[in-house]
Amino acid sequence: MDPLPPRLRRDVVSFVRRSTRMNESQQKAWERLGGRFVIDVERGEMSTAVADGARIDWDEAFGRTAPLIVEIGSGGGDSLVPMAAGRPEANIVAFEVFEPAVASTLGRIGREGIDNVRVVVADGAQALAKLFDDGSVSELWTFFADPWHKARHHKRRLVSGGFADVVAAKLAPGGVWRLATDWEDYALWMRDELDDHPLLTNVHDGWAPRLAERPVTKYEAKGLAAGRTIHDLTYRRVDAAQD
């Protein structure tokens, strides 16, 4: 397939880059662990863009071959690190554009003592399209992606436009996409977009039960404290026989 559907070629991204200033412990974590866990990628025009033709040998990056899990928008690693600790058999690649959050993730990785996570500072939507072979990803995690409430900003939602096509192409047959949000309108939008996708099937015929291994992050706690309902969704890439 064309590696980048039109939505991902335009300058429309699902994040706002904030200050890159780190506190002292984040700086220390970056200096100590960045070289080992942060993977550099060839850049496109924007600092978070991935160059056309960029490649990463994931087996080499992890020093082993293992099922690949991808998280987009890993924030400070509040879900990523505990979930990676519970999945020692998987190689987990996280994309996050906010460097201080990546540094916090590195601190958590160090404290947890895990080695099965690598982090890339780049737009994960582009990166998924460009840096992974079709059918090579066993799971994708997008938890509490920014909701972009205003109608004129809906195009910035991660689950938007051609992104589901990219996910369907990159997931291995039988691979799963796990999503969670505390915003009802975004949850309904995700379900509408994905229920209709010909290569994805809703595993639960509606909302998924809360994923037990997903810890309550500060974003989930904030949503709950404000009285919002958390919605989980799980989609499976239909297998080749159904294609």
Ligand X SMILES: C[S@@+](CC[C@H](N)C(=O)[O-])C[C@H]1O[C@@H](n2cnc3c(N)ncnc32)[C@H](O)[C@@H]1O
Catalytic residues: 146
- CB of residue 65 to ligand X, shortest distance in Å: 25
Q: Which is nearer to ligand X, 116 or 201 (CB)?
A: 116
- List, as one string, the DSSP characters of 209-220: PP-TTS---HHH
- CB of residue 241 to ligand X, shortest distance in Å: 32
Binding track, positions 44-83, relative to ligand X; x by CB under 6 A:
----------------------------xxxx--xx----
The answer to whether 84 touches 92, Cβ cutoff 8 Å, is: yes
End-to-end CA distance of the chain: 15
To the question of whether residue 218 is assigned a binding role by annotation, the answer is yes
The yes or no reply on residue 95 touching ligand X (CB under 6 A) is: yes
Element (H, E) at 235: strand 231-237
Q: How far apart are CA 182 and CA 186, in angstroms?
A: 8
To the question of whether residue 234 is assigned a binding role by annotation, the answer is no
The answer to whether 241 touches 114, Cβ cutoff 8 Å, is: no
Span near ligand X by CB under 6 A; candidates 61-69, 120-128, 166-174, 190-198:
120-128
# binding residues, ligand X (CB under 6 A): 23
Go through 39-78 and write b for each residue having 16 or more CB atoms within 10 A of its CB, e for each that does not: bebeebeeebbbeeebebebeeebeeebebbbbbbbbbbb
Span near ligand X by CB under 6 A; candidates 97-105, 109-117, 128-136, 227-235:
97-105
- CB of residue 142 to ligand X, shortest distance in Å: 8
Q: Which of 96, 79, 78 minimizes the C-alpha distance to 37?
A: 96
Quick one: which of 91, 104, 105, 217 contacts ligand X (CB under 6 A)? 217
Q: Which of 204, 140, 208, 206 minimizes the C-alpha distance to 169?
A: 140
To the question of whether residue 182 is assigned a binding role by annotation, the answer is yes
Q: Which residues are annotated as a binding site for S-adenosyl-L-methionine?
A: 71, 96, 123, 146
Q: Which residues bind ligand X (CB under 6 A)?
A: 14-15, 72-75, 78-79, 95-98, 101, 123-125, 143-146, 158, 217, 219
